[in-house]
Amino acid sequence: MEKTSSTTSGTGSAAYLKALTLEIEKKLQRALASASQRRNLLQELFADIALEVDDRARGIIFSWEEDAISPAEDAADGRLCFHNVLADYYVRIPESGKQILDLIVQLWSQSFASHIFSLLFHKWLFEAQLDNTEVLLRFSSALVQGATNVFWIDIQTNTRRFQSLFQYLLEEVALEPMRLNKIPVQAQRELFLLLSRFMLFYNSVDKLDSFLKQFPTFPNAFLVGGPADFFVIELAEQLQKLKVEPVLLHYLSHIKVLQGMELRMTTSTRLKACLYSFTSPGGPMYPTRAVRHAAWNALDLLFPVGRANSASSGLSKAGAFDSYAKTLTHPILEKTGSTQFKQAGLEHV
């Protein structure tokens, strides 16, 4: 009796995931057929797969057999989204995602295609047997581009909705040579630069030493320096792009991880100039008082000698920073998602 119940549950879970897959295929086919609606349809699909799984669907999904991949293990902070579930499903049963992958390839140059690919196929890419170097490079580049886009959505909303994707790319790919070496060296370099930019945001500085040891060799390393130099340069460039005050404060509060790091003089000067740009009110950064103080604290910690006594006063312009209230939602993800997608699998169970 217990065995029968387990079989039924597994069948229900499979039916649900197949139904979701069918909904994704239909929306991609509609996007392919309608140039005028293409962007909206892909944006809607991206929002759909980024939805958090509701309680009823969660009950069905957790009916996986004991030896199956458990998507719950990959969810950040207990959050389980549809892309977490489907990414595991397409690794476990690769043929289930083949039609979706073929459709995405046809929509390759469209907005949100790389977002969708990175969320649904980031695990498949490192588990599938792909011998064509050109195809591997294309998929790997799409993964890095898509991951960059979704991580920036987290930055803009000051949330960590896609932390599970970051953790997988860092812990299961960058720090695992067997998986990392499945993609071309060029893609490995792009991946490490990407992870360098977001490591502080996703609270993964405890992996920094291991990360730097795995850093791939760059052809311009003789000019730039070692792994630490590449990491700091990417971090400095990231800081200059941040416009959400709480996120920038988060970066500045965690930048202490760089203390004691051996850098080339040019890299050190670059970082110092970056931090100094946040210490004065007005353009081009228009930092708030809190940001100015955090930047001075970072300078005191990393470059303790030679700081001039500077007490900033007065209110600064807020032009370059979004207010915290405006960062709580993102226009792409604030929608609740299509009811058709969320309910698609339930009627098949």
Q: Which two tokens stand for residue 59?
A: 């009950």
Any domain includes 330: no
Residue with the bigger pLDDT between 61 and 38: it is 38
Domain span holding position 169: 2-203+335-348
What was the pLDDT predicted at 8?
A: 37
**Which residue's entry shows tokens 């039609």?**
99
Any domain includes 170: yes
Considering only 174-178, 244-248, 344-348, which range has the smallest mean pLDDT?
Answer: 344-348
Q: How many CB atoms lie within 10 A of CB 160?
A: 18
Digit-coded pLDDT (tens) for 127-172: 988 888 889 999 999 999 999 999 999 999 999 999 999 999 999 9
Distance of CA 333 to CAs 22, 44, 53, 176, 337, Å? Answer: 22, 9, 14, 32, 8
**pLDDT surpassing 60 at residue 335:** no
What was the pLDDT predicted at 209?
A: 96
Residue with the bigger pLDDT between 194 and 11: it is 194
Mean pLDDT along residues 100-112: 95
Residue with the bigger pLDDT between 47 and 11: it is 47
Mean pLDDT along residues 42-48: 97
Mean of all residue pLDDT scores within the chain: 85
Any domain includes 320: no
User: Which neighbouring-strand residues pair with 322?
Assistant: 244
What was the pLDDT predicted at 75?
A: 54
**Spatial distance between the Cα atoms of 341 and 24, rounded to a whole number of angstroms:** 8
Terminal C-alpha separation, the chain: 19
User: Which neighbouring-strand residues pair with 65?
Assistant: none
Considering only 76-80, 83-87, 108-112, 244-248, which range has the smallest mean pLDDT?
Answer: 76-80
Any domain includes 28: yes
Query: What is residue 322's three-state secondary structure?
Result: strand
Distance of CA 260 to CAs 76, 234, 304, Å? Answer: 31, 18, 12
**pLDDT surpassing 50 at residue 69:** no
Mean pLDDT along residues 163-191: 96
Q: Which two tokens stand for residue 216?
A: 């791939």
What was the pLDDT predicted at 327?
A: 40
Any domain includes 163: yes
**pLDDT surpassing 70 at residue 103:** yes
**Spatial distance between the Cα atoms of 191 and 141, rounded to a whole number of angstroms:** 9
**pLDDT surpassing 70 at residue 175:** yes
Going by C-alpha positions, the residue among 83, 89, 79, 6 that lies closest to residue 46 is 83
Q: Are 167 and 76 in contact (CB under 8 A)?
A: yes
Going by C-alpha positions, the residue among 125, 217, 129, 106 that lies closest to residue 172 is 125
Any domain includes 323: no
Any domain includes 31: yes
**pLDDT surpassing 50 at residue 316:** no
Angle between helix axes 38-49 and 82-92 (nearest 10 degrees) is: 90
Q: At 61, is the pLDDT very low, low, confident or very high (cuts 50, 70, 90)?
A: confident
Any domain includes 224: no
Digit-coded pLDDT (tens) for 236-289: 999 999 999 999 999 999 999 999 999 999 999 999 999 999 999 987 788 999
Mean pLDDT along residues 93-119: 95
Q: What's the number of domains the chain is made of?
A: 1
- Contacting residues for 209 by C-beta, under 8 A, at least 6 apart: none
Which uninterrupted H or E stretch holds 9?
Answer: helix 2-33
